[in-house]
Amino acid sequence: MLNTLIDGLLRGNVYALGAVGISLVFGVMNVVNFAQFSFFGLGAMLAWFFVAQEGLPFWLALPLVLAICAALGLVINISVVRPLAKFLPLAAMLSTYAVSQILDNVSQIAFGAQFRVFPKVMPTSNLHIGNMRFGTSDVVMLAITAVVMVVMSLFLKFGKIGRAIRATAQDQEAALQMGIPVGQVQHVSFVIASTLGGLAGVFIALYVGVANPTSGLDIGLTAFVAATLGGLGSLVGGVIGGFVLGILEAFGIYFFGDTSREIIIFVILIVVLILRPGGLLGKVPLISTEPLTGTFLGKGRPLRIPRWVWPAAFVVGGIVIPLVANDYVLTTGTQVLIYAVIAAGFTVTAGQSGVLALGQAGPIAIGAYTSALVTMNLHFSFWAALPVAGLSAAIIASVLASPIWGVKGHYISIATLGLGIAIVAIIQLVEPQGIYNIPVPQWFGAVLSTPVAYYLIDFGVLVVTLLVMWRIRRSHLGKVISSVGSDEVAALASGVRGRNYKALAFAISAFFAGVGGSLLAHQYTYIDPTIFTMLMSLLVVTIVIMGGVSLPYGAVVGSIILIGAMELLRFTPELRIIVYGLVLILVVRFRPGGILVRNS
Amino acid sequence: MTDLLALDDVHVYYGPFHALRGNTLTVGEGEIVSLLGGNASGKSTTMKTILGLIKVKSGSVRFAGEDVTNASTRHRVKAGIASVPEARRVFPQMTVDENLLAGAYTRKDRVGIAEDLERMREHFPRLGERRRQEAGTLSGGEQQMLAFARALMSRPKLICMDEPTMGLAPKLVDQVLDEIVRINKDLGVAVLFVEQQAELALSIASRGYVLATGEIVLNGTSRELLDNPQIQEAYLGKATQA
């Protein structure tokens, strides 16, 4: 019990460092910075590299790691975050998400993907008070954090730049008018946050004893929840939130086991967002009162598509390709088609209702598992399982997401991201082994398991999906959903309750995600929780943003480019993620409406 | 009187929208000038242009003999332009003293800053009493005084005030106008201010400019403007005798 408390304090220590950085950057830039999440993983890997590989003494490696993180933070802010934050905070957030994926994968390429054993630099269980066991290492970490926090608060209270940071956080425009160099203040905040992130990463490695390049997102998300719990923008809140969350998590794991971790964190996030959106210490109307949902990307006019393109595309996609293409191209084609279905359905949420949901892997996984289970246990045919998978994804995802529609702006993206992770975590808890031998589709006794058959099934589903999306967009309902997306306040003033329609849009998107999941399950014939990753969610978002967030046919184009081209060019998985990330940043920066939308 | 601030044929666009259409405006040293006009006439845009918060498409902005057309806000503050932003915008979770220090951000002379802090406390006794209180807890009138004092902390030659009486009770409006005159007289600081109520504005200003849809349609001394039948009709509610 007491050891669990120690465990919680040490976890909390890491989260507190991370949360303070997240709050700091959110305060001065109004951007949730995912890129910062990568510094947790990066700090750990760099420390491992210098200590274990290069044989540097730990106390020499530490400042070196921090310096690298600081410099990298500055580069990221100058090149990606700041140019976008001024105009489109949500676009900036999306870009930082891309940056974090790039950083994680560059780190994976540089250091290898495996878990590395971190050398023991200080004793870890040489001390005890009564039954509590701990080590010098733990004491040193807590002491460093304490010193850092004291220095930080003195700096913010009495330092000239510290005061400028607070002034900028409270009223950026007024700060500018006082002659405060807001740009430099943001750079300084970014550098501090990255350094704290790196420090937290080193602590993780020290505490857990292993380092892994992709651990950052997970810890970063937890640190973000800690920052939210304490009150986003409040530094004292970040520290308190970090320790409270660390202790809650340690006891949660003690009672419910390690696999419950993500679920605990997500539940805490949701409870905080509903009960006290300002956090324990934050004051509710934080900084920006502008509605951040809706029109998160630049506006523009879709390119004119000549009428003959539609039948031509139908003939090429449905007849020419199945006739002439070889199995390799057809198999790639099925992937393109399935993602096109998922992404076309997602345009209702991302494009029309303006909710940048970041966790579509969740409903995809629900669809895949439902389809596998009903065909295997209840002996449904594939054709019956397909809509059932969609419905179950829509219902389950909607029920789980129902608490989040009242929250705004960045929170809604983070909450959906957490939701996606939590869904996969629940599946992992219930069905950790994966499911084998999922039946392949049949048609009156004939087994449809050739690449051509899969291709044609997926093509048919895509055509139906696009027709449904086209009908929805033209319907009254579609227009109401679009009104919520383009101006939620105005929609509310016209009697439209935005949250209900956002939830409905999300349910529609979840339905098609579930259908896509079902198609995947029956073609892979094997599924397990590791398939439904954050990368899958990122891919769906990237596809719709590339094609044009509100254009269902744009999703098809995005899918062809991002999946078809990547596959045919035979990029390795790590390289692919880097390309996705770069594409996302470039599109958001230069063609914010998508490649099929002309800037206005 | 030499011109402290001079805008010459300034054009400003918001995207395709032509917000300022070739405006020319001057403020002399130690002068009080008011900027009048209806909603969306370009008053706030003019203020933002002077402060360097918006880029000028063509034309020039000169301040104290220097061309500042493309200078940063920070540079202009250093040169002597201070701002009392619209709706005051004090830093709500910083103390009164910290707000004042934020106003002196561009200065490096510690001794001078400390002296000015003391002077502000004397000049605005309420702020002295509440120096450790968070600015967000002050009353509207007190916040306005803090916004004035904060602007003065940069030792400006000119203060730009965007609707300093906005949202204040009528009694406080008079106090604020008196305060503008006092700042101008005691400290010799020129003031350019935006005001909705033309008669009040012209009662303390020596000159005024009237904006309509981005253009300066009238300008002159306060007396001339008050006697102008167009102004009387548009702003003072007096019907012109036909």
Q: Across the interface, do B53 and A179 touch by the CB < 8 Å criterion? A: no
Q: Are residues B31 and B126 in the same domain?
A: no
Q: Are residues B131 and B59 in the same domain?
A: no
Domain A2-275 fold is: ABC transporter involved in vitamin B12 uptake, BtuC (1.10.3470)
Chain B residue numbers touching A163 (CB-CB < 8 A): 94, 98, 101-102
Confidence band, pLDDT 50/70/90 cuts, at residue A466: very high
Q: Are residues B79 and B179 in the same domain?
A: yes
| Residue carrying the six token digits 């990066």 | A42
Q: How far apart are alpha carbons A97 and A38 in whole angstroms?
A: 10
Chain A residue numbers touching B14 (CB-CB < 8 A): none
Q: Across the interface, do A167 and B94 touch by the CB < 8 Å criterion? A: yes
Residue B205 placed within a domain: no
Which of the two residues, A444 and B89, has the higher pLDDT score? B89
What's this model's pTM, rounded to 2 decimal places? 0.84
Q: Are residues B67 and B77 in the same domain?
A: no
- Which residue from B89, B105, B150 is facing A164, i.e. has the nearest CB? B105
Closest chain A CA to residue B136: A170
The pLDDT value given to residue A286: 41
Q: Across the interface, do B98 and A170 touch by the CB < 8 Å criterion? A: no
Instruction: For residue A386, count other CB atoms closer than 10 A to its CB.
Output: 22
Chain A residue numbers touching B94 (CB-CB < 8 A): 163, 166-167, 170
The ipTM estimated for the assembled molecules is 0.91
Q: Are residues B108 and B182 in the same domain?
A: yes
Residue B5 placed within a domain: yes
pLDDT at B46 over 90: yes
Q: Are residues B82 and B98 in the same domain?
A: yes
- Which amino acid appears at position A340 of this protein? A
Residue B206 placed within a domain: no
pLDDT at A24 over 50: yes
Chain A residue numbers touching B106 (CB-CB < 8 A): 178-179
Mean pLDDT of chain A: 87
A562's tokens: 């991002």
Domains in chain A: boundaries: 2-275, 311-533
- Which residue from A170, A179, A283 is facing B105, i.e. has the nearest CB? A179
Please tell me the distance in Å from B128's CA to the nearest CA on chain A.
19
Q: How far apart are alpha carbons A284 and A282 in whole angstroms?
A: 6
Instruction: For residue A149, count other CB atoms closer than 10 A to its CB.
Output: 18
Is residue A213 within 8 Å of residue A574, measured between CB atoms?
no
Residue B202 placed within a domain: no
Report the DSSP beta bridge partners of residue A251. Answer: none
pLDDT at A275 over 60: yes
Q: How far apart are alpha carbons A26 and A190 in whole angstroms?
A: 10
Distances (CA, A) of B222 to A284, B6, B196, B208, B210: 45, 19, 15, 6, 11
Number of domains composing chain B: 2
Is residue A392 within 8 Å of residue A536, measured between CB atoms?
no
pLDDT at A293 over 50: no
Average pLDDT over residues A426-441: 88
Q: Are residues B65 and B157 in the same domain?
A: no
Range list of β-strands (E), A83-234? 116-117, 127-129, 132-134, 210-211
Is residue A65 within 8 Å of residue A198, measured between CB atoms?
yes
Distances (CA, A) of A297 to A79, A482, A550: 19, 14, 11
Which of A185-199, A230-244, A347-361, A531-545 has the highest average model confidence (pLDDT)? A185-199
C-alpha closest to that of A466 among A545, A383, A561, A556 = A556
Please tell me if residue B85 touches chain A, with a CB cutoff of 8 Å.
yes
Chain B residue numbers touching A164 (CB-CB < 8 A): 102, 105
Q: Across the interface, do A178 and B103 touch by the CB < 8 Å criterion? A: yes
Q: A-contacting residues of B 178-237, CB under 8 Å?
A: none
What H or E segment, with its residue span, contains residue A429?
A: helix A409-430
Q: Are residues B171 and B81 in the same domain?
A: yes
What H or E segment, with its residue span, contains residue A314?
A: helix A309-315
Best residue in A161, A168, A177, A236 for a mutation probing chain B (most B CBs within 10 Å): A177
Chain B residue numbers touching A181 (CB-CB < 8 A): 74
Q: Across the interface, do A180 and B105 touch by the CB < 8 Å criterion? A: yes
pLDDT at B241 over 60: no
**DSSP letter at B104?**
T
Distances (CA, A) of A543 to A346, A376, A558, B122, B232: 10, 32, 5, 63, 61
Q: Are residues B31 and B77 in the same domain?
A: no
Best residue in A178, A182, A185, A284 for a mutation probing chain B (most B CBs within 10 Å): A178
Residue B117 placed within a domain: yes
CB pairs under 8 A between A and B: 62
pLDDT digits (tens, 9 = 90+) for A38-68: 999 999 999 999 999 999 999 999 999 999 9
Closest chain A CA to residue B151: A178
If interface means Cβ-Cβ distance under 8 Å, which residues of chain A face chain B? 160, 163-164, 166-167, 170-171, 173-181, 283
| Residue carrying the six token digits 């909607």 | A398
The pLDDT value given to residue A167: 93
C-alpha closest to that of A300 among A4, A593, A6 = A593
pLDDT cut 70: percent of chain B above it: 96
Q: Could you tell me the residue range of the domain that residue B185 belongs to? A: 73-189
Query: Cα–chain-centroid distance for residue A62?
Result: 29
Q: Are residues B122 and B180 in the same domain?
A: yes
Q: Are residues B65 and B80 in the same domain?
A: no
Q: Across the interface, do B105 and A160 touch by the CB < 8 Å criterion? A: yes
Chain A residue numbers touching B89 (CB-CB < 8 A): 171, 173-174
Chain B residue numbers touching A175 (CB-CB < 8 A): 91, 102
Average pLDDT over residues B144-160: 95
Chain B residue numbers touching A170 (CB-CB < 8 A): 91-94
Q: Are residues B160 and B185 in the same domain?
A: yes
